[in-house]
Amino acid sequence: MNKCRMNKWRYRYQGATVLSDLEVPEWEPFADAGDSSEFDVSVRVEPRSAGEEEPAQTAREHRFYEKAAGWFRVRNGREIIVTPCERFLPEQLRAFLLGSAWGALMYQRGQLIIHASAVRSGNGGVAFCAACGGGKSTLAAALISRGYPFLSDDLCYVETVNSGPPVAHPSTFRLKLWEEAFHQLGRKVPESVSDQIQPGKFQCLPDARERAPLALRGVYLLSWGQLGIDRVTGLAALQRFLTAATWRGRLLFSTGDPGVYFQQCADVLRTVPVWEFRRPRELSTLDESATILERHLRDQLL
């Protein structure tokens, strides 16, 4: 791990250079050895003063408290201030730092994050979007078991550029799966890596991981039903993408700029094709679903 002066750590993560008071093992692959005086985002640990009044919550300052972790303040797209509670659990603190706090920060920065799992297919990335419980991570894990490198899970940062296709950046190299999904994939459930936010879920480290940003070449909107894949275009594609891919819509409206977000989504879909992928909910059909999807990836994207 690259350790900076004054017990600080520097990372290059999802397009931002982060200088942190906290060592974040989940960001180890993104450690950066650059100048510690140059950074876009700071993660600071500060004590909570007795009798300190809570600041008014605004779009530029999002704050929240989590039991067994502590207080978090996300300010101006530049700072995440963490005040651990007296008996905090480091794993829970980092889980909320990498999830709720980081997502709010990206919204404040006007960066496009989507609720998706993504893998590499050919020379680009493909994203699977759905609401919570829609099977994004499980489907990605099934493809990863077939040799598709992991790219992102949960909070996927998509960079829109003036020229060229949108680019999907790697996220923390963890997949969160229910115990039944591990069994269906023929993998052992990790004994000690339980998810700190969703009891019953476990984190696994994908065998193959993509470390560089990739051009986003396709989006699949996941739904339950009879197995099949259909192209979605035009306004219907945008409407359904917004429904499936928006991470915590209320947070977007309170901390971000919905107009900018909607325009970014429209810009992505101008060049990235969208399909609806329906498959049965039963995990026993996962292998068949992955086979159909893999065939479609070969026919459409390779």
CA distance 170 to 15: 10
* Shared domain check, 156 and 131: yes
Coil/strand/helix, residue 254: helix
* Shared domain check, 151 and 65: no
Predicted confidence at residue 239, as pLDDT, reads 97
CATH number of 245's domain: 3.40.50.300
* Shared domain check, 246 and 147: yes
Split into its structural domains, the chain has a count of 2
Question: What CA–CA distances, in Å, run from 244 to 99, 117, 135?
Answer: 18, 12, 12
Domain boundary, last residue among 108, 133, 148 = 108
Predicted confidence at residue 49, as pLDDT, reads 65
CA distance 107 to 178: 28
CA distance 121 to 272: 14
Predicted confidence at residue 27, as pLDDT, reads 96
Predicted confidence at residue 55, as pLDDT, reads 59
Predicted confidence at residue 101, as pLDDT, reads 97
Q: What is the pLDDT along the chain (302 residues), one digit of tens a residue?
A: 444 446 899 999 999 999 999 999 999 999 998 887 889 999 999 987 655 556 567 778 999 999 889 999 999 999 999 999 988 889 889 999 999 999 999 999 999 999 999 999 999 999 999 998 999 999 999 999 999 999 999 999 999 987 789 999 999 999 889 889 988 998 877 655 776 677 778 888 888 899 999 999 999 999 999 999 999 999 999 999 999 999 999 999 999 999 999 999 999 999 999 999 999 999 999 999 999 999 999 998 75
Predicted confidence at residue 302, as pLDDT, reads 56
* Shared domain check, 103 and 129: no
* Shared domain check, 194 and 289: yes
Predicted confidence at residue 6, as pLDDT, reads 60
Domain boundary, last residue among 108, 131, 166 = 108
* Shared domain check, 195 and 48: no
* Shared domain check, 128 and 33: no
H helix intervals, 75-128? 90-96, 102-108
Q: Which residue range(s) make up the domain with 35?
A: 3-108
Domain boundary, last residue among 108, 127, 162 = 108
Any idea how long the chain is?
302
* Shared domain check, 117 and 90: no
* Shared domain check, 222 and 164: yes
Tokens of 162: 């003036």
* Shared domain check, 179 and 152: yes
Return the number of other C-beta atoms located less than 10 Å from residue 16's C-beta. 19
